Structure 1
Amino acid sequence: NIVHLHERDCSVQRRHQKVIEIAPSVDLDEAVRHELCKAAVQVAGEVKYNNAGTVEFLLDGDTNEWFFIEMNPRIQVEHTVTEIITGVDLVRSQILVAQGHDLFGEVIDIPIQDEIPRNGYAVQARITTEDPANNFSPDYGRILNYRSAAGFGIRLDAGTGDAGSVITPFYDSMLVKLTAFGPRFEIALQRMDRALREFRIRGVKTNIPFIENVILNETFRSGKATTRLIDTNPDLFNFRPRRDRATKLLNYLSDITVNGNDTAKGYKLSAALPTPRVPACDVRAQMQPGSRNKLLELGPDGFARWIRDTKPLLITDTTMRDAHQSLIATRMRSVDMLNIASYVAQKTPNLFSLEMWGGATFDTTMRFLRESPWDRLRELRERIPNICFQMLFRGSNAVGYSNYPDNVVEGFIKHSAESGMDIFRIFDSLNYLPNMQVAMEAVREHTTSVCEAAVCYTGDIDDPKRDKYSLKYYINKAKELEKMGAHILAIKDMAGLCRPSAATKLFRALREEIGIPMHFHTHDSSGINSASVLAASESGVDIVDLALASMSGSTSQPNLNSVAAALSGLERDPGLDPNALNAMSDYWEEVLEFYTPFNTAPRAGSAEVYIHEMPGGQFTNLKEQASAMGLGHRWPEIARTYAEVNQLFGDIIKVTPSSKVVGDMCMFLITRGIKPEAVTSIEPGSIDFPESVIDMLWGGLGQPDGGWPADVQKAVLGDREPTTKRPGDLAKPINLETTRAELSTKLGRIAGDDDLYSHLMYPAVFAEFDEFIKTYGKVQGLPTTAFFYGLSVSEEISVEIGPGKVLFIKLIGISEANAEGQRNIFYELNGMPRECAVIDQALAPKDAVTRLKGDQNDPLQAVAPMPGMVSEVNAEVGAQVEEGDPIITLEAMKMLTTISASSTGTVTEILAQKGDAVETDDLLARLEQ
C-alpha cells in the first residue's frame, strides 16, 4: 500500500537551501531513477510510514553513486511540481489518508504504481523579498505594486504578496511560489522566463533577477546542474539594473505635485491648459526631399555651390533653439518639438535648415529639463530626415563656457555629426579666429557635415566714430574664414544691432569679396530687424535666420511668416506654404502657455539695444538675475552699466561666454557700488573680482582685436602675468579612454560617447543629471504641464516609455499630511491602484530626521549595507579603531550584520542609536585619520 510519485531534482541550492526545483529530473539515468524510487518505497515500508512523506538522496554526478540523507514526514514546499506531473493533489490526499481513507479507493483515487503518470516537466521557483545583489539580505516595507503572472502553463501558490501589504522583518520572506510546466523541459523554462518578466513587484526588492539568471544558465538548462552551480557561477549575480520606470515616474509626479518644481519658480496653474492642437498631416505619405537630401547627394562642397546658385531666399527656422533660448530661457522641452516634428518634415521641406541644438540648449536640457541633449538630437533626426539640422558651436568653448582641449573639441564634433548634425555654425566670442580653427578643421576632416564659420557683429558700420568694427573689419574676417575652409560664412548679429542700411552695405560688400554663401543671423530686439533681413536679401545674402510668428520678435528672431509673405511671388520667394507656417505658429502659440514662468522677454523691441548691445539670449537672463537679486527696479542703471563695462573692457564682441563676463562684472560693480570708471583706480589685489572676469582678462577666452586694456588687466590680475597664447595650446589633451574608464566607475555602467562628452562639457551638471535619472528615470515623455506643475486630482495623462509601451496615469487623491509631513498620493496606473509617499516640504517638521546618505567606497564612513534596525552600537565618539573593528550591528529578519571599520582611525560621529530603523546607504558613523 505504498507508492512513489517519481523524483524531484533540487540540486540548485544556496547555502544548502533549495532555490529551484524540477520534476522529473532532466538528466537522471533511468536505472538510477528506478533505484532511488525503489529505495524510497523500501524506507517507508520498513518504518511502516502512514501518509505523505519526502525521502531525500544525494547523488554523485560523476559515478551515479547515491546516498540516503533523510526522510521528512511531510510534503515539501516544492510539492507543486510533483502534483503537476502526476495529477495527484498531495495536500488533499494526505488529509484523507489521515482520515483513514484507502490510497486506491474512490475518495483518494491514486492509481496503482505502474499507472501513476509522469506528464511533461514542471519547474518551481520561490519569489522572496530578498536582495540577491546584497548577499540575499531580507528586504521589508510596503508593497506599492503587485502584479503577478498568469496564463497557460503557470501555477501560482500565493503567500503575503499584494499591493499595500506590509512585509515585516519577523516572518518568512516568501511572497509566492511560481510553477511553470510544459510537455518539454525547454517549454517549461520558456514559460517560467515569460512569467518572471511579467511580475511587477515594487516597494521591496525581490530575488526575481537572480532566478531569471539561473533559468537562463546553460548548465541548468542542460539538466546537469549540481549543488555547486551557484557557487561556481559568479555571473549569476550580474544583474541588469532594474528600470522600474513607472514607479520612478510616479515618484517624480508626486514630488512635483506636492512640492512644486524649483525651476518653475513656484508658479502654479490656475486652471488646466488645453492640449496644443498638432496640425494634421499624413505621416504615411511619401516625404518630399529637402536640403538634407541635397547635402547627402552633393557633399558639403557641392552643397555650398548649390546654395550660391539658388535664387530663392533660403530660410533657417530657429524656433527649436535660439527663439526659445531668447524668449523663454531655453526651457523648451523635447516632447513639444517631437509632437510637431513629422508635420515640419512633411509640410516645410523647402526650409534650408532647422537650428535645433547647441548653444545653451546642451546645458539646460540636462540642468533644468532633465533630458539628454543627445536623445533630443537623435529623436528629432528620426522624425525629420529630410531637412538639415544646424547647431551653434562656440569654437574652442564647444557648447560650454570654458576652453577645452583640442581633442575634446574634435571628438565632440565627430560624435555630434554621427548623431545626426548637418551644419555646424562655429564662432568665437571675441572673433578670435585661432579659437575657431580646430573646430573648423574637425568638421571638414572628420565629418561630411557643413562648416559654417561666423563673424560676430557688433557696433555700427554706419557710424564713423565706431571705427573699431568697420566694414573693412568684417570683410577681412570673412576673407580669413574663407581661407580657413569655411563652406558658408555667417554674420552673427546676436544683439540685433545690424540696421537695414548697414545690412545693405555689409552684404553687398561681402558678395563682391568672397565666393562662399552668406548666412545672416539677427535678433529683433530693436523691432526693425525684419527690415534688415529684407535689406540683406536684396543685397545678395543666401540664407537668413527667422522664427515662426508666435515665437518671433522681441529678443528672438524676426517673423518667418511675415518675411515669407513679403517675398511671396517675387524673385526671392522662399516657396514655403503659408498655411503650414500659420498652422505651426498656432501650435507654438498654444505651447508657449506651458512656459509662462519663463517668458520674461520684453513685449516689444526697443532702441535701448543700441545702447547696451546685449545679445538677445542674454537680455532676459540678466534681467531675471537682477530681479532675483532684488535689483529689478534698477534695470535702467544695470543696462547703462553693462554698456560702460563693455567700454571698460575695450569695446569687445559680446556673445556667450564673453557676454556673460560683461554681465558678471556689471552685477559685481552694481552690488558693490563701484563705478566702472573707478576700476582702474582700485589697488590691485584688494578686491576679489569674479573668476570669469579674471580668466577673460588673463587670456582664458583668447584675445580681442587690439588686445585688453593694460590698466584694467593690472587692476584685475594684480601681479599675475596674462597670456597671449591660444587657450587650446595651454590645455593638455585629455586621454579620452582613461576618462571614459573613470566615468564608467562613477556611473556604475559602461560610459558611452553621450556620457563621455556630456561629462567633459559639464561634469557637475551631468553627474546631477545622472543621479536624477537613477532616481526618477527618463521624464522627457511627460506632458510639459505635468513635468513643471504636476497633476491635479482626477487629471489623467498618457506617457510613452518605449515603442508600444504607454502608461496611463490618473491622480485619484492626496491624503492629509501626517505628523512628519508625509502625504500619500493615490493613482490609477493602467487601471490598477498605485500609491506613493512624499514629504510635503512646507509641512515637514524642522526637526524631522533625514538621514545622510553615505559612500560605501569611502573607508572613513560606516554605511548601512541594507535596511534594518540598529541592534548594537559597538563604538563611541573618540574611540580609536583598527580596520575590522565593529562599529554598529544591524538586525533584519533575525540576521545580524556587523558594520566594521574599513580603516584605522578615530570615530568622530555616531549618527544612529540602538533601536533606530535605517535604510540602505544611510551614513551611520564617520572616522578620521
Structure 2
Amino acid sequence: MAGLLKPQAARLLVGALRDRHPDVPIHIHTHDTAGAGVASMLACAESGADVVDVAVDSMSGMTSQPSMGAIIACLQGSKHKTRISLENVSQYSAYWEQARTLYAPFECAVTMKSGNADVYENEIPGGQYTNLQFQAFSLGLGEHFESIKKAYKEANILLGDIIKVTPSSKVVGDLAQFMVQNKLSSKDVLEKAEELSFPTSVVEFMQGYIGMPHGGFPEPLRSKILKDTVRIEGRPGQTLPPMDLEALKKKLMEKHVQKVTDEDVMSAAMYPKECDDFLSFRNTYGPVSLLDTWVFLDDFLSFRNTYGPVSLLDTRGFLVGPKVGDNFEVVLEKGKTLHIKTLAVSANVTEEGEREVFFELNGQLRSVFVKDLTLSEEIVVHPKANKDVKGSVGAPMPGTVLDIRVKEGDIVKKGDPLVVISAMKMEMVVQAPVAGE
C-alpha cells in the first residue's frame, strides 16, 4: 500500500509465488509514491503476475497507482503486450484531465508537488499520505509535515512495527501528529505514557478494538497507556450484541425522511456519526452523487424513479460557487432547464449582513439577497492553560469539543476523562492532570 515493492524484490516475490502456485492467479496492487511503480509492475508482469493495478495517465503517479499508458507502451511488442489501444487510453486520460480541474479545491497537488523516495523510510500508505498532509495543514502543522513523516516512523516502531493499512495506519498517523503537536520524542512517549492523553484511536488500538496485531501488543507501553482500562480478548466482533438492521433502517428513514438504501444502513452500522452527517447533507443539497461529471440518462432516470424530481447542479458551481460572469444551467426536469448568468455583487451590506446579487435567469434580470458569511467571522482568542497553576487543563491539540464527561462539583482522580475533543477525524480524551474537584 505504500509502494515499497522495488523491481528486484518484485521479481523474487512474484517468481517464488508463481513457482509454488503455478495455477493461482496473481494480482498485484501498489501505489507510486516513490516513482518506481511502473518499473515494479513491469517486473511483476515479466515474473508471472496475471494482473497489475494501474491508473489512467492523468490520475496516476505520486500516491496514486502507476501510469496505465506507460505500462501499456512499455509492453508493446513483447510477449506481455496488453492489446489495449494506447490512443484510446490517451483520449480517456484527456477527459479525466479536464474533469479533474473541477475538483481543484480538493487537490493534493496544492501542497504535494511530486513523489518522494522517503516513503521507503516512513512506510506511509499512499491513500493515507495525502490525507495526513491535509490533516497537518488543517491542524496548523503544515510546515512541520517533514517532522510528521519522521514521527510516523517512530510511532510505527512504538506501536510494534505494525502492518499499516486502514484502520491500523490511522492509529500510526494519529500518534505521529500527536507527537509533533506536543513536541514529544519516542523516548518521551515511553517515559510519560501514564500522564499523556493519547488519541482515542491509539487507546482503542491498545484495548484490542481492531484485533490483535501481528507480533502482539507493545509492552510496557500498552500497560502504561491503558492502566485499568478494559481490554478485549480475541476477535472484537465476537463480543458485539446482535444488531437489528431493519430497526436501524426504520430509524434512519424516520429521522431523515428520505429513501434509505441498504448501503446507507451498512454505513450507519459501521460509521453512525459520519453516515448521519452525510444523510443530513443529502437532505439539504440533494443527490450530489448525480453531478454532471458522470451523469448519464439511464442513471438519472433510475434515480428519479426512486427518489422523485431532483436538481442536477453543475459540478464547479456546487463545489466552489459561481463567479461574476459565469454561465451555468440547472435542470429541473426533462425539457425544463434554467439558464443562469451571474452579473454582479453589491458592495453595500444590509443590516442583516446580506448583499444583493444580480443575475440573468433565462435572459431576464433578477436579484436575490444572499447572506455574506465572511462578515460574521470573528476572531476568538481562547486562554491557554497556565503550567504554574496546579490543575489547569489544556487541550493537546486545537479542535471541537465532542463530549464533556464531568460536571461542576464532581470529584475526579488523576487520569479521569474530562472532555473529548476532535479535529480532522482524530479524537482525543483530555484527562485530569491531578486529582481534585
Aligned to 1:506: 13
Whichever residue aligns with residue 177 of structure 2, its letter is: M
Report deviation, 1:786. 1.1
What secondary structure does 2:117 align onto? coil
Give the Cα–Cα distance (whole angstroms) in 2 for the partners of residues 633 and 709 of structure 1: 31
Aligned to 2:268: 759
Render the CA deviation track for 1:296-337: whole Å, top value 9, x for unaligned. xxxxxxxxxxxxxxxxxxxxxxxxxxxxxxxxxxxxxxxxxx
Report deviation, 1:689. 1.0
Whichever residue aligns with residue 742 of structure 1, its letter is: K
TM-score w.r.t. the length of structure 2 is 0.75
Aligned to 1:530: 38
Q: Structure 1 residues 509, 739: closer, same or farther in 2, change over 3 A?
A: same
What secondary structure does 1:546 align onto? coil
Q: Does 1:664 align with 2:174?
A: yes
Matches within 5 A, 1:212-251: none
Q: Does 1:737 align with 2:261?
A: no
Q: Of the candidates 102, 113, 120, which is equivalent to residue 594 of structure 1?
A: 102
Report deviation, 1:671. 1.5
Aligned to 2:90: 582
Q: Structure 1 residues 591, 692: closer, same or farther in 2, change over 3 A?
A: same
Q: Structure 1 residues 760, 559: closer, same or farther in 2, change over 3 A?
A: same
Render the CA deviation track for 1:882-918: whole Å, top value 9, x for unaligned. xxxxxxxxxxxxxxxxxxxxxxxxxxxxxxxxxxxxx
Aligned to 1:843: 375
Q: Of the candidates 211, 230, 235, which is equivalent to residue 702 of structure 1?
A: 211
Aligned to 1:570: 78
Give the Cα–Cα distance (whole angstroms) in 2 for the partners of residues 630 and 652 of structure 1: 28
What secondary structure does 1:842 align onto? helix
Q: Structure 1 residues 713, 805: closer, same or farther in 2, change over 3 A?
A: farther
| Greater displacement, 809-818 / 711-720 | 809-818
Render the CA deviation track for 1:615-647: whole Å, top value 9, x for unaligned. 112112212222233322322222111101111
Give the Cα–Cα distance (whole angstroms) in 1 for the partners of residues 35 and 166 of structure 2: 22
Q: Structure 1 residues 597, 574: closer, same or farther in 2, change over 3 A?
A: same
TM-score w.r.t. the length of structure 1 is 0.36
Give the Cα–Cα distance (whole angstroms) in 1 for the partners of residues 370 and 235 of structure 2: 52
Aligned to 1:654: 164
Give me the identity figure in percent: 41
Report deviation, 1:768. 2.8
Q: Structure 1 residues 798, 683: closer, same or farther in 2, change over 3 A?
A: closer
Whichever residue aligns with residue 350 of structure 2, its letter is: N
Give the Cα–Cα distance (whole angstroms) in 1 for the partners of residues 135 and 185 of structure 2: 20
Q: Structure 1 residues 538, 749: closer, same or farther in 2, change over 3 A?
A: closer
Q: Of the candidates 640, 644, 658, which is equivalent to residue 150 of structure 2?
A: 640
Give the Cα–Cα distance (whole angstroms) in 2 for the partners of residues 636 and 793 of structure 1: 39
Report deviation, 1:664. 0.5
Matches within 5 A, 1:378-527: 494-514=1-21, 515-527=23-35
Report deviation, 1:725. 1.0
Give the Cα–Cα distance (whole angstroms) in 1 for the partners of residues 376 and 182 of structure 2: 37
Aligned to 1:678: 188
What secondary structure does 1:650 align onto? coil
Q: Structure 1 residues 838, 760: closer, same or farther in 2, change over 3 A?
A: farther
Give the Cα–Cα distance (whole angstroms) in 2 for the partners of residues 525 and 555 of structure 1: 5
Report deviation, 1:499. 0.5
Q: Of the candidates 784, 787, 792, which is equivalent to residue 318 of structure 2?
A: 787
Give the Cα–Cα distance (whole angstroms) in 1 for the partners of residues 8 and 225 of structure 2: 39
What secondary structure does 1:837 align onto? strand
Q: Structure 1 residues 799, 566: closer, same or farther in 2, change over 3 A?
A: farther
Whichever residue aligns with residue 776 of structure 1, its letter is: Y
RMSD (Å), alpha carbons: 2.3
What secondary structure does 1:710 align onto? coil
Greater strand fraction, Structure 1 or Structure 2: 1
Whichever residue aligns with residue 843 of structure 1, its letter is: L
What secondary structure does 1:811 align onto? strand
> For structure 1, which runs of at least 5 residues remain unmatched after alignment?
1-493, 847-929
Report deviation, 1:553. 1.2
Give the Cα–Cα distance (whole angstroms) in 1 for the partners of residues 45 and 334 of structure 2: 44
Give the Cα–Cα distance (whole angstroms) in 2 for the partners of residues 655 and 718 of structure 1: 27
Render the CA deviation track for 1:28-80: whole Å, top value 9, x for unaligned. xxxxxxxxxxxxxxxxxxxxxxxxxxxxxxxxxxxxxxxxxxxxxxxxxxxxx
State whether residues 256 and 283 of structure 2, in contact with CA within 8 Å, keep that contact through their aligned partners in structure 1. no
Q: Of the candidates 608, 629, 633, which is equivalent to residue 139 of structure 2?
A: 629
What secondary structure does 2:356 align onto? strand
Aligned to 1:413: none
Aligned to 1:724: 233
Give the Cα–Cα distance (whole angstroms) in 2 for the partners of residues 615 and 568 of structure 1: 31
Q: Structure 1 residues 748, 527: closer, same or farther in 2, change over 3 A?
A: closer
Aligned to 1:824: 356
Give the Cα–Cα distance (whole angstroms) in 2 for the partners of residues 543 and 641 of structure 1: 35
Q: Does 1:813 align with 2:344?
A: yes
Matches within 5 A, 1:45-444: none
State whether residues 820 and 844 of structure 1, in contact with CA within 8 Å, keep that contact through their aligned partners in structure 2. no
Whichever residue aligns with residue 657 of structure 1, its letter is: P
State whether residues 679 and 715 of structure 1, in contact with CA within 8 Å, keep that contact through their aligned partners in structure 2. no
Q: Of the candidates 206, 209, 220, which is equivalent to residue 711 of structure 1?
A: 220
Give the Cα–Cα distance (whole angstroms) in 1 for the partners of residues 174 and 243 of structure 2: 29
Q: Of the candidates 598, 608, 613, which is equivalent to residue 123 of structure 2?
A: 613
Give the Cα–Cα distance (whole angstroms) in 2 for the partners of residues 761 and 800 of structure 1: 35
Whichever residue aligns with residue 724 of structure 1, its letter is: E
Q: Structure 1 residues 710, 648: closer, same or farther in 2, change over 3 A?
A: same
Render the CA deviation track for 1:563-617: whole Å, top value 9, x for unaligned. 0011112221111111111112222223333333333343333220111000112
Report deviation, 1:791. 1.3
What secondary structure does 1:590 align onto? helix
Q: Structure 1 residues 563, 841: closer, same or farther in 2, change over 3 A?
A: same
State whether residues 808 and 830 of structure 1, in contact with CA within 8 Å, keep that contact through their aligned partners in structure 2. yes
Give the Cα–Cα distance (whole angstroms) in 2 for the partners of residues 516 and 666 of structure 1: 39
State whether residues 327 and 341 of structure 2, in contact with CA within 8 Å, keep that contact through their aligned partners in structure 1. yes
Render the CA deviation track for 1:753-809: whole Å, top value 9, x for unaligned. 244233334333333333333333334333332122211233211244555553322
Q: How many residues matched? A: 352
State whether residues 821 and 845 of structure 1, in contact with CA within 8 Å, keep that contact through their aligned partners in structure 2. no
Give the Cα–Cα distance (whole angstroms) in 1 for the partners of residues 62 and 208 of structure 2: 33
Report deviation, 1:498. 0.5
